[in-house]
Amino acid sequence: MNFDNRSLAFNDESNLLVLDDDFGRTMREMFLDDLTRSKEVTLEQFRRRPRNDRLLEWGASRVARIL
């Protein structure tokens, strides 16, 4: 859980601790499967992202407080 004012005021978060080897293996397998469909983005690639993406990010950041 994040202990910042925004998280405490707006986000419904909780923590869960599970002590179970089978559950841990399942979560690890899911994570590793996710990695096979992931793509690393370097800082240089991020800086060269299209102008439209930057504009959408800027717009989303303006309304994020009310979402």
**Mean per-residue pLDDT, 6-19:** 80
Spatial contact of 1 and 14, defined as CB atoms under 8 Å apart: yes
- Is 51:45 a contact under the CB 8 Å cutoff? no
- Asked whether residue 14 carries a pLDDT value surpassing 90, the answer given is no
Q: Are 15 and 1 in contact (CB under 8 A)?
A: yes
- Position 3 pLDDT exceeds 80: no
Q: What is the tally of structural domains in the chain?
A: 1
Parent domain of 34: 5-66
Q: pLDDT at residue 11 above 80? A: no
pLDDT of 1 higher than 70: no
What mean pLDDT comes out for the span 13-40? 93
* pLDDT, the chain, mean: 90
